[in-house]
Amino acid sequence: MKKYKSTIILLFVFSINAVFAQLSDDKWNYLLIREDAVMPSMTLDYEASLADLTLFLEKNKVKKVNYLTALQDNYNYTHITSLKNLNEIGSGLESFIRGDDESAEFELIWSDLTETIEAYGYYVVKYLPELSHVPDGKVWLDEAPYRRWNYYYFEPGREQDVNEILMAWKNLYERKGVKSGFRVFKGVIGLEQPVILFTTWAEDPLDYQQNLQETIKLLGEEGSVLWMAMLDLVRDVETVEGWYLPQFSYLPEK
């Protein structure tokens, strides 16, 4: 898979000493994302293990672990953890995995989980609030669980051109009063470079398409011109859709 070609992070995504801090955008900086490629016939077993893991963390009141879980349309499950900086990678469930905090229960859960996975990979992205448009302030959780992730890969040396186009997008959205939003992330580690991750959300696919049609009308000819300018810089695009899964996420209170 394209996104795994240069993956170099070897720690588990659950081993992060960070908190989502009520998930407000101003608290984000980096996101560490683990993707598990689950065997389609094993999805129910995988989700059962995730449920067991959540119960284990809650029962043991583990504070150094937090993650949002999402299911993509390619049977990949993503687990997303926020970082203030890259030095926060460490601790958390790593202590159980290394055996510092021995737990037969955890070992059984983790063993069952890994048996359902064909492969896994990690990557880190940096949030770019200055290029994002979030008019409603939504944190895109329960109220908007549908997700669409667009990976735009560009030719090296065109980063400044890309930023200018993205800033023009944001300004146009704001000027036209577009109610639907988007968040922009820059690939840092584990992805082909340079790459921009453009994310959108909605209540469901129908809501997404309705929002998209409304946005296209509002942006008009200016939006079409910007879109063509964007495509001139793109060498490849990868789009994935899916759903946020609150029942398999773990967000302990401080």
Backbone phi, then psi, for 236, in 5-degree steps? Answer: -165, 150
Higher pLDDT, residue 76 or 91: 76
Residue 138 confidence (pLDDT): 58
Helix H, strand E, coil C: the string for the chain is CHHHCCCCCCCCCCCECCCCHHHCHHHCCEEEEEEEEECHHHHHHHHHHHHHHHHHHHHCCCCCCCEEEEEECCCEEEEEEEECCHHHECCCCHHHHHCCCCCHHHHHHHHHHHCCEEEEEEEEEEECHHHCECCCCCCCCCCCCEEEEEEEEECCCCHHHHHHHHHHHHHHHHHHCCCCCEEEEEEEECCCCCEEEEEEEECCHHHHHHHHHHHHHHHHHHHHHHHHHHHHHEEEEEEEEEEECHHHCECCCC
d(CA 250, CA 79): 10
Residue 95 confidence (pLDDT): 52
Residue 167 confidence (pLDDT): 95
Q: 74 pLDDT band (50/70/90 cuts)? A: confident
- Over the chain, what is the mean pLDDT? 80
Q: 251 pLDDT band (50/70/90 cuts)? A: confident
| Class at the top of the CATH hierarchy for domain 128-241 | alpha beta
Higher pLDDT, residue 122 or 217: 217
Residue 94 confidence (pLDDT): 52
Higher pLDDT, residue 26 or 125: 125
Residue 21 confidence (pLDDT): 38
d(CA 232, CA 161): 10
> What is the token pair recorded at 116?
């359902």
Residue 90 confidence (pLDDT): 52
Q: 254 pLDDT band (50/70/90 cuts)? A: low
Residue intervals in the chain for CATH 3.30.70.100: 2-126+243-248, 128-241
For the chain, the distance separating the N- and C-terminal CA atoms, rounded to the nearest angstrom, is 37
| Class at the top of the CATH hierarchy for domain 2-126+243-248 | alpha beta
Backbone phi, then psi, for 206, in 5-degree steps? Answer: -65, -45
Per-residue pLDDT at 145 exceeds 70: yes
Least confident of 21-25, 53-57, 72-76, 250-254: 21-25
Per-residue pLDDT at 4 exceeds 50: no
Q: What is the mean pLDDT of residues 115-138?
A: 85
Residue 85 confidence (pLDDT): 67
Largest CA distance in the chain: 61
Residue 184 confidence (pLDDT): 92
Q: 45 pLDDT band (50/70/90 cuts)? A: very high
